[in-house]
Amino acid sequence: MEQSPELIEFVNALQILHDPKSNQNDRQFAHNICESAKSDDLRAYSLASQLVSASLPHHVRHFGFQLYEHLITKRWNTLDPSSRAQLKIVSLEIISKWNTDLLVEPRFLKEKAVQIVALIAKREWPHQWPSLFAELTSLSRTGDSHCELVLHVLRGIAEGMFDEDQLSDARRNELLVALNNEFASLFAFCFQVLEEKFLLFQSSVDLEKQKAKCLVSAALKMFEAYAPLSSFQVLAQCGLLQAICALLANPDLRGEALGVLQAICAKKCKDVPHEAVTNLVGSLLELCKGGLLQQTEFDFHKGLCVALTELGLNFWTSFSSQQTIVEGYLSLMASFTNYHALAITAITTPFWRNYLDGQNAVTGVNLPPQIHEALMATILDKVSCKPGSDWEDLCGVEEFSDFDEYFKFWGQVKAKVLEIVRKLANLMPLNSIMFIGAQWQNALQQTQELLLNGVQSLDEKVDSRIEALQSVLENIILGVPLANFQNENDDVNGACRMLVGILVSRDVNGQIVMASIVRMGLVVLIPFLRMRGGDSGLGAEIISKMLNFYDLFPISSESSFVSNTLRTSLNLSDTVTMRRRLSAAIVKLAHAMSAHLLPYRDQINNKVQSLFSSGQVTGEETSHLYELLFVLSNPLPSDAERAAFLDSIMMQPLAEWNDPVLTQAMSDPHAWVQGGIAGEIIPSEETYYNLRQVRHRIHQVLITLLCICRRVQAGGGGMGTGVHSSNTKNGSLYSISNHISSILPNLSLLIKSIHTLWTPDVRTRLSQ
């Protein structure tokens, strides 16, 4: 048939648009020609009728369908009834005259063709087009190509129903009501196609097999589109649930079947047939036991995990009474949580959170112990796998552009699984503590063996494991109900005491790493120790253990002033860091157990004073140790006792402050800049070292006195309560005032010396 000039013009314009070699001006000109067709409805309809001819190239026909789409989506309300009726006839004629083999025609062209019918149906069916479904059903029987197109049309009616802006809410509700009345017959038709073509797929070969597969896929896509709209009962009655399970076992069709399963499981509906759901879960469990997961890859595993998670979230009550099914389902979900890809672990966390919250609300209902242990072990492993140099191996099949992206995702998953740990501990506190106790004991033993065998420092994996143990233990303790710690004879308390015993009794053998591990473990047990720290002197034993670390890992009192080069050569860095963290940990523990430590106050005080006398604590450590002593004063019953206690702890720093050597240095400005004034003789190395040591002693005792005064002034640790006493001579404020006369003389000398250094005659002579 001869083509009109206008048609030729549009065909040429479309050819230019689809030619990658076309220049920008030609493409813009061609684009303007194509857009001009939409300016007039009659012209657009006429051109569309010519452009969709089967004799024209695919991209030309596609534009013809676009013109029809424009008339329906943009101009429908302005078209007269006869034009609308004509478009309905044309849309079905396009499908009925589709004679190309279904394996030949490109998918994008078929999708665009069926979209015309679907768009009109959303606007006209059922009242203005009551015969649509009957016509489509009849048309599907004329051949495989027509059957496939009909299935695509039916799918298109459901897809995007809530996304299309042109549909009003009233029209959308009208469509849903009409579809609800048709679901039974619609699904019966589609299921018949699915069943027939699946049997043909199994029995045929080559081209016939491929055609059957295309039709099965089309039917499954239709079910996937309608599953969110229909009731679960209708889906179950048509036989779809059993069919999905059968198709999941087929390697060629399980991908499409999984899509339908996900759509079904994502439904949130009432009046669900419990038996149908139970049978579905049972069938899925049997498939997984039969090797489904071993036969499939990551993408399928991820999709199945999504479906199973939604199944548990939305339909748990339907199968929760079947103990065998429940245990199998929980075991399968635990295995997905343990999956090597973090994405799948993250998918399962909403189910566990929801399940554990529900179990905690039901008194006496526990998670099966083997599932609890498997989950705990999995979470510990996930938290241990901190991304490092091997991050590309860890992420495996997951796609991450760089280390930072993967590390951020790991942090998000870590937070989610640690929340699960807290919920597990809340549900089963004894099992949780027993599990982590065994893990800590094994880790301590293995770490100590490594260190005894000459390993100088732990490698990245071992270090991450220790950090993970600390995180999991901390969240277990936070998750255990406090009522368990209040009961003296509770098994949970016994398990916690056993864990404390494992840490306290561990011989660190002078190994900084072991001391740090013990410190970390004890600190996270504070919620337990706050209530049970007085049991058999447990709190005092812990504080004494940690104070002994100062003797096990000695450093010079001036270590904090050693230069970086010297510090490295003396290998002091790790020791200083460990002791600094140890000091902070001791104060935290003491604050938590202050009431339990009162009977052992003198014992702890004597140990602290001996540390002061040894000269083996830095200024920062001294401040922390005085903080410890202040904490011990909290439970003292009277101001007089607190004042006496303050007098006792002031003795040592006051004696140090008024030492003649320090007094001489504070009164001599040159002691602070020895060798720094131009023209003076540079002192010997020994003299310089001695002067530096004196200056350090002054600095350290000054910091100590400042710490004490600030604590009393702020009332910290109960030391300031004497201010409000009716007899202030019994208060700690009076006690500190008593010592001012011993502090001020040297303090004034020190201030005067420092001021002298800033006088012009001295400052100008200082070396630059």
Cβ-based burial of 77 (10 A; exposed 0-12, middle 13-18, buried ≥19) = exposed
Q: Are 7 and 47 in contact (CB under 8 A)?
A: yes
Distance CA 255, CA 675 (A): 83
Q: Are 670 and 677 in contact (CB under 8 A)?
A: yes
> Which residues of the chain have a pLDDT value below 70?
1-2, 362-365, 394, 456-457, 489, 556-572, 634-637, 674-683, 711-736, 761-768
96-138 confidence digits (pLDDT tens): 999 888 889 999 999 999 999 999 999 999 999 999 999 999 9
User: In this structure, which amino acid lies at residue 2?
Assistant: E
pLDDT value at residue 413: 96
pLDDT value at residue 7: 93
Cβ-based burial of 449 (10 A; exposed 0-12, middle 13-18, buried ≥19) = exposed
Q: Are 722 and 735 in contact (CB under 8 A)?
A: yes
Q: pTM value?
A: 0.82
pLDDT value at residue 362: 67
Q: Are 305 and 348 in contact (CB under 8 A)?
A: yes
Domain boundaries, the chain: 664-768
Cβ-based burial of 297 (10 A; exposed 0-12, middle 13-18, buried ≥19) = exposed
Tokens of 173: 């509700």
Cα Rg, the chain, nearest whole Å? 40
What separation in angstroms does the CA of 538 have from each of 203, 449, 748?
75, 27, 46
Interacting residues of 634 by C-beta distance below 8 A, sequence separation 6+? 594, 595, 717, 718
Element (H, E) at 196: helix 169-203
Place of tokens 């494992």: 502
Of 219, 336, 218, 236, nearest to 277 (Cα)? 236
Phi, psi of 677 (to 5 degrees): -95, 130
pLDDT value at residue 38: 94
Distance CA 372, CA 435 (A): 9
Q: Strand pairing partners for 677?
A: 766
- Look up residue 341 and give its DSSP letter: S
Phi, psi of 766 (to 5 degrees): -70, 140
45-66 confidence digits (pLDDT tens): 999 999 999 999 999 999 999 9
